Structure 1
């Protein structure tokens, strides 16, 4: 005798369970893809740095990584540290966290450098602040005798005391490219596609706050110096926003670039390209649409995201002044 066929109720229940399971899988996949896009993962608009030596070396990275790399660099140069210190810091963060400010790690390790609260690096909240974390790394690095002459992996290990002391070495080529661009030594070498973050709506205000966070308050209006060596009054606000106020439209920040605004041993041109590259690295996070410096401009959304001569003028990347955003200022324009 044949077995009775399943009742319609049981059949429908099984079908609904299968459909529900399929929907769960689809939602999980969709959520993963959204997170990858938002955090700069696979398939997300990215950033790229190229060698200024013309040797074809490149490094591609995500907007999230770009913001953190720019912050690490700004903290180092604001302290007057050499480019080698920045290279060591970037290679260390590449190894420890892939330049992501993560909330997990080995035991109680946290953040860009995987610093441990239990080992005296600070509170969890402090360590998760990229400016604080970078500053603590540089504090310890500066205590390493002759760190600029040491192999990178040795210098990094004396700070980190990692269980894998040789791991930092493999990141040195990428960290070197990043440091050259983000310190401004290598001009017009860092670009991003510039996908705006829709959650940021306060335009120039966000840019000014981020600049002060990373570089300190002097970045908005560095004081000049008179010929007799005495400090001259800070320049007064102008319609073009030379004080960093953003001008009348609230969308533009214009940063003066003068010789005394640069750290020791670095030219005004390097300072300008550092600020310009910093703005491009933060383009997605801060809704930056355009950056102009030394007669060249970067515009968000370009297919190749190259630095182009302003108004088609053939201007060298090293910084001959252009009609807008000349060598004496960096102009940052945010989206509406």
Structure 2
């Protein structure tokens, strides 16, 4: 009897080990991007916010467009809080009535054509244009500024995203160095970085010496957009992020200048 019970216990233990192994493996391989802020004096742990690669990619575009237009980081926070509420930072092809895109803007309300509103650069640009026309947008609460632009049926809903939007803004505008990481990415073939960077950042100078905040802003944009742009390595200020490691690490060989590498296109299979 004891032998039978022991056999059952051993078998169950083996099942548990296998389940844990597979669960751990799945967790490690899950694609994701995380913004980790410095730990504050009253924080039990460092605040972290994790998104899937697609939403983080879109957040990077929204932030880049705002900075390109010369707007302060507060505008970026308003835009990100809005897109988090409206679409969870996903470029939706539809929504309530004729709403489309990251901000769920409506062609019938004069925001643009359906094709235009599915272009993140266009939709973000239009959002910022309307935001900047508000007399007091820089001083009123974020949720009120967002509502003044969107005229949503749920005017207070944007407030719930303020902390996350503020954290994303801090990383994507270069306020927090090495705060944004992406891991387990599936990289697209290398994109034309000059064209994309000019459209979103307003500059194609993606290497060389940069002031700290500007360098980290571009570095974070590159990491957040890495899957779409085929970027597998970014270095700045003595640190390097790689798609393989999914993390920033000290790198004496990297130097202080900004640099990047795009993954080579795999040769076609001979089979």
Aligned to 1:193: 183
1:256 alignment counterpart: 208
Structure 1 length-normalised TM: 0.66
1:220 aligns with 2:204: yes
Distance apart, 1:84 and its partner CA = 0.5
Return 5+ residue gaps in structure 2 as ranges.
1-28, 265-271
Structure-2 residue corresponding to 1:306: 247
Higher helix share: 2
1:267-282 map, 5 Å: 268-282=211-225
- Paired with 1:81 and 1:52, the residues of 2 have a C-alpha distance of 25
CA deviation vs aligned residue, 1:280-310 (integer Å, no higher than 9, x gap) = 10111222111100111111122xx331111
For the residue of structure 1 that corresponds to 2:232, the secondary structure is strand
Per the TM alignment, residue 206 of structure 1 is displaced from its structure 2 partner at its CA by 2.9
The answer to whether the 8 A contact 1:289-1:334 is kept is yes
Which residue is equivalent to 2:108? Answer: 118
Q: TM-score under structure 2 normalisation?
A: 0.82
3-state secondary structure, aligned to 2:124? helix
Q: How does 1:42-81 map to 2 (within 5 A)?
A: 44-54=30-40, 55=43, 56-81=46-71
Q: Deviations over 1:45-89 (max 9, x none)?
A: 000001134442110001101110000000000111111100000
CA distance in 2, matches of 1:160, 1:279: 29
1:164-214 deviation digits (Å, cap 9, x = unpaired): 0000000001000000000001111000005133xx32x3x4333321221
Partner of 1:246: none
3-state DSSP of counterpart to 1:165: coil
- Does the Cα contact within 8 Å between 2:193 and 2:204 map onto a contact in 1? no
| Equivalent-residue separation in structure 1 for 2:250 and 2:215 (angstroms) | 16
Gaps of 5+ in 1: 1-42, 222-253, 259-267, 312-322
Secondary structure, counterpart of 2:97 in structure 1? coil
Partner of residue 139, structure 1: 129
Corresponding residue pairs, total: 232
- Match for residue 254 of structure 2? 324
- RMSD (Å) for aligned C-alpha atoms: 1.5
Aligned CA distance change for structure 1 residues 122 and 78 (closer, same or farther; 3 Å): same
